[in-house]
Structure 1
Amino acid sequence: MQLSFWELKNWFTNIDFTIVGSGIVGLHCALELREKFPLAKILVLEKGILPQGASTKNAGFACFGSVSEILDDLRSHSEEEVLQLVQKRWEGLQLLRKRIGDEALDLKPYGGYELFLKDDESTYEDCLQKLPFINELLKPLFKNDVFSKEIDRFAFQGIHEYVLFNPYEAQIDTGNMMQQLLRMATNKHILILNQQTVTSYVEKNNEVEVVLDDFSFQTKKLFFATNGFAKELTNGEVKPARAQVLITKPIANLDIKGTFHLDKGYYYFRNFENRILLGGGRNLDFEGETTTALGQTEIIQNKLEQLLKEVILPNQSFEIEHRWSGIMGVGNHKNPVVRQLSENVFCGVRLGGMGVAIGSLIGKELADLMN
């Protein structure tokens, strides 16, 4: 690509910080760097028309883990590690709310519910039995019991009588959140270029040469905030994990309000106004969903539709209006990876499907590596 003198001068000369990825992590990193370095030239590169991972494609859950998810985490992490994970997610949500504001997020504090299918007796009994233990574990953070047992009042079918309620969970509008973040970055004179794919980079003395598809430029520091797409360039312990989602057309007299979790968080749904948004099913085909390709599969879409018909909306007619997918970043450990890769290259990746909750905090931690 042949660039003009003006393009080179204004966009690709004397760059202090280049951030790859314009999602939640990348934009929070850019905004934090702007606060630390008011005069710095900051460039954000995004390979899509919009953020390509999960930042504009998630379900809009402001959550930090259901009881079955936390119990699942305790099988591979210590109690202290799990408490720290929940704390990071909770602090990240507070940072997101502080930066963007509840009105701009369209935050709705309806609370969250965990449901248990009738044929999953063991998980149901395990969660009820260990409810006091989980509440005690989280008490240092919340000062109160987080989870309580309630009778299902939503007329779901095929589930156990009791649901677990969490008053600290909320819904946000994902589109509003990302639009506001982009607006804030632009207002702070942060340059954002879309449809720019970084193919490699080379460290040179005190700078990094960033190679795009058809040209390269120099930057003083390079940050990767590419989460599910991170493996190729960061060699991090990150695997992509596709999440498939659908949303119904408006449903008359819909009485469901809140965020809902099923099957250790592998399925999740919520209302958006008078529609149902439902996602998940990665556990039906872990290998197939370990991909960076956006799209849907019959096995997962059929299961989502079955849940809608038999469990969520058993006595209501509905039509599906739209389907999509997003790419998360997961690994063997739930802790995010925020580290210096070399003298002038850094990464903040592996958000473990909790990007809304921890993305802002990881962006801040990534920028704080400049201290």
Structure 2
Amino acid sequence: MNLSYWELKTWFDKVDFTIVGSGIVGLHCALALREKHPNSKILVLEKGMLPQGASTKNAGFACFGSISEIIDDLKNHSEEEVIQLIQKRWNGLQLLRKNLDDEAIDFKPFGGYELFLNEDESTYTECLQKLPFINDVLNPLFKNEVFTKEIDRFNFKGIQEYVVFNPYEAQIDTGKMMQALLQKAISNGILILNQAVVNSYNETSAGVEVSFNDFNFTTKKLLFTTNGFAQQLTSNQVKPARAQVLITEPIPNLDIKGTFHLDKGYYYFRNIDDRILLGGGRNLDFEGETTTELGQTEKIQNRLEELLKEVILPDTEFKIAHRWSGIMGIGSSKKPIVEQLSEHVYCGVRLGGMGVAIGSLIGQELAELV
């Protein structure tokens, strides 16, 4: 790197905090650090042109878990752990709205729905049977019924008679959210460098020497907020999980409005700009989708199109406008990892596919830990 004196002095001299990853967690962490340390130099390094994981690639669901996901979580976590997870997700969504305001993120409280395919009789029956119990579990948090069963009013095909409605779910515009977050970070004097690929780091008694793009500099504290990419530079037990997505061309007179879940959350769709955005299918190939490679596979894309044709838009012509993918961070537990790795190195990772909900809170918790 051919850097001038001015570049070295402005960006790399006397750096207090260096954050790797400019997504929801990284930028909220930077803003929380700025509040606590108003005169510090905070540098954010991002390997992509835009945040490379899932922060600008997610579906824009402001949600905390569908009823089948919550029931599934209760089979693998204690009731207390599940309540804590949902509380974190809910608090995180409120923090995101407070930090950026509803207009900036295009927050639309249309509510969320879970659909059950005709062949998924067992999950459907279990969810309806346990609906009162789940509402009781969540009552201390929401002081109200979260889930109710309703007749499908959107003319979906191939699904069970009832859908489960959640009035607390909403949509956001992911692009607007990240643009507002980036603007807020910059206006608070946070330095952000893109196309900065961190290769390694070496801890010293005074701080951490960071190597990126064949250039080294020293920072007092180093924080990783790389979620699905965390294993590449830390020893954390975080597995990458690719999520494939597609979006249609605008559809005249589209009447579908809300956020929708299918198959324990493995599929999800919503309306946006008179289009349908649909993602998921990781359960068709868990091994193949445990990757940090961005891309699509024929198997999953075919299944997404099949769901559009047979379930979501059975009587409507549509064209696919665009396809993409994002990388989430998951693990054996859905509890996020916020921890100190060594004297000067920290991380906030493993968001379990709920980055929109908990990213802001994990960023804040990481700043508090530092």
TM norm. shorter chain > 0.5:
yes
1:167 aligns with 2:164: no
Report what 1:27 is aligned to: 27
User: What secondary structure does 2:325 align onto?
Assistant: strand
Residues 301-340 of structure 1 mapped to structure 2, 5 A cutoff: 301-340=301-340
Shift of 1:121: 0.3
Residues 1-371 of structure 1 mapped to structure 2, 5 A cutoff: 1-370=1-370
User: What secondary structure does 2:244 align onto?
Assistant: strand
Could you tell me the percent identity over the aligned residues?
76
Q: Deviations over 1:310-360 (max 9, x none)?
A: 000000000000000000000000000000000010000000000000000
User: What secondary structure does 2:98 align onto?
Assistant: helix
Shift of 1:273: 2.5
Distance in 2 (alpha carbons) for counterparts of 1:142 and 1:277: 29
Q: Deviations over 1:274-302 (max 9, x none)?
A: 10000000000000000000000000000
Distance in 2 (alpha carbons) for counterparts of 1:232 and 1:160: 43
Distance in 2 (alpha carbons) for counterparts of 1:7 and 1:72: 51
Shift of 1:4: 1.3
Q: Deviations over 1:211-242 (max 9, x none)?
A: 11311100000000000000121111100000
User: What secondary structure does 1:153 align onto?
Assistant: coil
Q: Which moved more, 1:200-209 or 1:62-71?
A: 200-209
Q: Deviations over 1:125-179 (max 9, x none)?
A: 0000000000000011001110000000000000001000000000000000000
Distance in 1 (alpha carbons) for counterparts of 2:5 and 2:274: 52
Instruction: For structure 2, list consecutive stretches of 5 or more residues without a partner in the other structure.
Output: none
Distance in 2 (alpha carbons) for counterparts of 1:273 and 1:220: 45
Aligned partner letter, 2:321: E
Shift of 1:5: 1.0
Distance in 1 (alpha carbons) for counterparts of 2:216 and 2:140: 50
Q: Deviations over 1:242-300 (max 9, x none)?
A: 00000000001100000000000000000003100000000000000000000000000
Distance in 2 (alpha carbons) for counterparts of 1:232 and 1:106: 34
Shift of 1:3: 1.4
TM-score (structure 1 length as normaliser):
0.99
Aligned partner letter, 2:87: Q
User: What secondary structure does 2:341 align onto?
Assistant: strand
User: What secondary structure does 2:76 align onto?
Assistant: coil
Runs of 4+ more than 3 Å apart: none
Distance in 1 (alpha carbons) for counterparts of 2:92 and 2:206: 32
Distance in 2 (alpha carbons) for counterparts of 1:206 and 1:130: 55
User: What secondary structure does 1:75 align onto?
Assistant: helix
